[in-house]
Structure 1
């Protein structure tokens, strides 16, 4: 069984965590496969315009596999998983996480690496590091506050409480939430809208946002003026289509 499946269709690459019997609990072999997929996608900007990250079965991802940790599983290098998640976040293409069922701890850190998080009503988000006397090393302490604000992030991290998909949407953790029956269709519509827009613009937008994340407004505006790519190679065709009505 392939632990992380890849499907390419019409400019969209879907990566599916594939340990449904374990709620897609994360192991080192899963991260190794994910890293290879991410590297391949990063080099495929001409054929991949958007990346969709999903989980097979009843959950997106229940987090790090505690049984594997207890059994002594070791990564091939220090901070291996954190680096893979950072490489996912740094992809030039937009990354969308579609979350249903469990999205706990390491699974939430994985989802937070996405540019957009789309939630089903069945989604359940939680940071349970404190329940196991663990501290986050895959980005939780940095990405969660940037999504929901420091006070709300502290609440979630200190209490470990479980949030519904609707709660995640209300606090800004998820961009949108849909009823389970409408979820797959809404996800498909969202990612197809992304794919239909200019891939050049998406890549430039991600670069501008990443490079100015800690800049002042003045410095950020100056950076945009100096480094924006202006019109992309597909601009003329898009403008011509607009002119034809």
Structure 2
């Protein structure tokens, strides 16, 4: 039994609670599991889910440590991955898992914890996707870090990444957002548990290689630059890739374009 699995089973034995989704009716088409990135919650996917409508049975997870009882210093990459496994176990049938940003690391870590989960495709939306032994942000650049810290500061006492300058945060994460979208962004963005970014991936290679993988590039992203995205995607043996002319939050600024791409990927 690997260390990642031991930690997660220990957490479950202690009675950790995880976000859960309502059980959906089984259908021929796969369900879609939407995993948010740093500083956001399941609400990040609201506009995409509206665009998906009844074309896809979609489920957006709230990862622990944002709007729940978990203290930030207790929220690790392992706990986040265990939460995702618990969430997926409530959704019957085949699944397409879509990860944004830091969510890509959570998804990759989950493959070791629930290797028998019925997943057919992974979709990375301007996301990190660290491989075995790699850190969550190991493929990002100094420029990415500079843009990130323009609006964020490390709260060492609380082990939390705080949004210290909302205007700079919005401009770095979604410089292409209109005024209404920027207002939404500032209202919905939350502090982020810092320990997740310190995690290292224990990847189930056999499971990972068996899955069809797709990457959606955001051409104007300043948090995970296009160069960093390309460096990440180059190691994934992709079935296909796509582009959106957006900043870091295409689910906010280009929700219809992203939803249409997700439907296209689901149907491949």
Tell me the TM-score normalized by structure 1. Answer: 0.32
Tell me the TM-score normalized by structure 2. Answer: 0.30
Q: Relative to total residues, which structure has the larger helix share, 1 or 2?
A: 1
Higher Cα Rg, which structure: 1
